[in-house]
C-alpha cells in the first residue's frame, strides 16, 4: 500500500515569502552577479512593487505578463505579482516575436512588466510597464496583507501560468 497522504498547511506563496522576510530579514535572499539582497531588502522591493500593482487593479487570479530576462528585477517582479494576489505569466523576451505574440494573446494579461530593452518585442496594444523607468520609492515597503489587496488572497488562487514548449503544436498555458 502506498500511503502518500500528507497534511499541508493552507498558506499562499505570498504568505511563505512574507514569513521568510520576517524570520530571516538579515540573511541573504538573492544573489545575482554583483547584486546581493537581504530578505529585508528583497521584501521592501517586492512590497513596493506589489502596492503599485494593486493600484493598477492587480489582485487574485489577475494575470500579469513578465517579459524580463533572468535578473534581480525578474525575481522581484515575480514575487511582487504574487504578493499583490496576481498570477505571473513568464514570457521569454528572446523568443521569436510570433511566439511572444501568441502567448500574450492567449493569456491576455492585464499588463506586461518588462524592461526598456524588450519593449519592442511586445505586441502593440498591450499595457506595458517598463520596470527600469518605474519609481515606487514613495510606496510602503511593509508587508502586503489582504487589507491592502483588491480582494483576499487564498491558497486556491493562481500564482503563475506556464506555457508548454509547443513542440507538438501550439503552446498551451
Contacts of residue 80, defined as CB under 8 A and 6 or more positions apart, other chains included, come to: 45, 46, 47, 48, 49, 50, 52, 53
pLDDT at 82 over 70: yes
Q: How much is the average pLDDT of 62-72?
A: 96
The DSSP code sequence of 1-39 is: ------------HHHHHHHHHHHSTTSEEEEETTEEEEH
DSSP state of 169: S
Tell me the mean pLDDT in the region 6-33: 90
Residue in the block written with cell 494593486: 54
Q: Which CATH topology does 1-173 take? A: Rossmann fold (3.40.50)
Distance CA 44, CA 99 (A): 34
Give the confidence band of 2 by pLDDT, cuts at 50, 70, 90.
Answer: low
Dist. CA 58–CA 35, nearest whole Å: 28
The pTM of the full predicted model, rounded to 2 decimals, is 0.91
Cell of 53: 500593482
The predicted pLDDT at position 38 comes to 97
Which residues pair with residue 111 across a beta bridge? 64
Among 92, 93, 129, 133, residue whose Cα is nearest residue 111: 129
Q: Which of 137, 93, 139, 138 is nearest to 112 (CA)?
A: 93
pLDDT digits (tens, 9 = 90+) for 107-135: 999 999 999 999 999 999 999 999 999 99
Domain boundaries, the chain: 1-173
Amino acid at each position: 500500500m502506498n500511503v502518500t497522504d500528507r497534511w499541508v498547511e493552507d498558506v499562499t506563496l505570498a504568505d511563505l515569502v512574507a514569513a521568510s522576510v520576517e524570520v530571516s530579514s538579515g540573511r541573504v535572499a538573492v544573489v545575482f552577479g554583483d547584486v546581493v539582497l537581504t530578505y529585508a531588502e528583497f521584501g521592501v522591493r517586492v512590497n513596493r512593487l506589489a502596492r503599485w500593482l494593486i493600484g493598477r487593479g492587480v489582485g487574485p487570479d489577475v494575470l500579469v505578463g513578465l517579459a524580463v530576462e533572468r535578473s534581480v528585477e525578474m525575481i522581484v517582479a515575480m514575487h511582487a505579482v504574487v504578493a499583490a494576489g496576481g498570477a505571473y505569466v513568464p514570457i521569454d523576451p528572446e523568443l521569436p516575436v510570433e511566439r511572444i505574440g501568441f502567448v500574450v494573446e492567449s493569456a491576455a494579461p492585464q499588463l506586461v512588466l518588462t524592461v526598456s530593452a524588450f519593449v519592442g518585442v511586445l505586441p502593440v496594444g498591450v499595457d506595458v510597464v517598463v520596470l527600469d523607468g518605474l519609481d515606487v520609492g514613495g510606496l510602503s515597503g511593509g508587508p502586503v496583507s489582504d487589507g491592502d489587496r483588491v480582494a483576499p488572497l487564498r491558497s486556491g488562487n493562481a500564482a503563475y501560468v506556464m506555457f508548454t514548449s509547443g513542440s507538438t503544436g501550439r503552446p498551451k498555458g
